[in-house]
Amino acid sequence: MIAHDSHVPLYIQIKDYIRLNIQAGVFPENSRIPSERQLAEQFQVSRLTVSKAINELIQEGLLHSHVGKGTFVSSTKIEQELRTLTSFTEEMIRRGQRPSSRVLYAAVEPASSEVTKALLLPSGTKIIVLRRVRLADNQPVALETSAIVAAICPGIVDKHDFSQESLYQVLREECGIRIAYARQTFESRQATPEEQEALHLDPHTPILGITRVTYNAQEQPIEYVRSAYRGDRYKFNAILRYGE
């Protein structure tokens, strides 16, 4: 229920209510949620307040509306199998969604100590830093910061438009890099203010923090990535075999 005397704006409370009901399966996938009028009556708020909450959830991809039919719960979270190493672009195409990115930062600079440690580099090594909001069908789903050893694929920052192009495709096709495997860690955490803004998150939305070190066929670490995936839009699956 919502609290009229709370410092949390009413529309945020209504968003949380709808989101929690989706997560709990009370409003199942593809089902119609109660109308604006019903929600406004239920919570004793104006339809404008309900409409603001619903519109933001539509923006975030959790709901969609059909003119004349109502507002529906969008299909499931993006489910990613942890079996093969894929790029964001490949994963989205496999799912039938359109990948794109918003490039927040792209530059060549000396590696930070975090990056030199992860990629086993001498200090001062030049790296390409690429920070992108990754979009699925124009909806932001992750914020990724990749660090690549600049010498292995020089000049790509100036030559390529990473709002549309795939980094792994450029590494493969232009620089002949054979990506072999990656080591990834996952942790749930709170979104930073930058992540909240980039991913259009409410303060309560959980984040899945993923750190990846990617290796080439010669087993050299070539990429270090820090990512924040929207916890409400992503799900990872793994097959675990007993005794192996």
Hunting for tokens 């989205």 — which residue is that? 92
Q: For strand 126-136 and strand 63-66, is the pairing parallel, antiparallel, or unpaired?
A: unpaired
Restricted to residues 68-87, the positions that interact with ligand GLP (CB under 6 A) are 87
For residues 54 and 164, what is the distance between their CA atoms, to the nearest angstrom? 30
| Binding span for ligand GLP by CB under 6 A among 49-57, 61-69, 164-172, 189-197 | 164-172
Window 31-50: contact mask with ligand GLP (x via CB under 6 A): --------------------
For residues 137 and 101, what is the distance between their CA atoms, to the nearest angstrom? 10
* Selected binder of ligand GLP within 40, 135, 167, 207 (CB under 6 A): 167
Listed residue (66, 146, 71, 74) closest to 107, CA to CA: 146
Range list of H helices, 104-163: 113-119, 156-159
* Selected binder of ligand GLP within 195, 227, 228, 233 (CB under 6 A): 227
* Selected binder of ligand GLP within 13, 71, 116, 166 (CB under 6 A): 166
Window 122-161: contact mask with ligand GLP (x via CB under 6 A): ----------------------x-x---------------
For residues 82 and 76, what is the distance between their CA atoms, to the nearest angstrom? 17
Query: Which residues of the shown chain bind ligand GLP in the complex (CB under 6 A)?
Result: 87-89, 144, 146, 166-169, 212, 225, 227
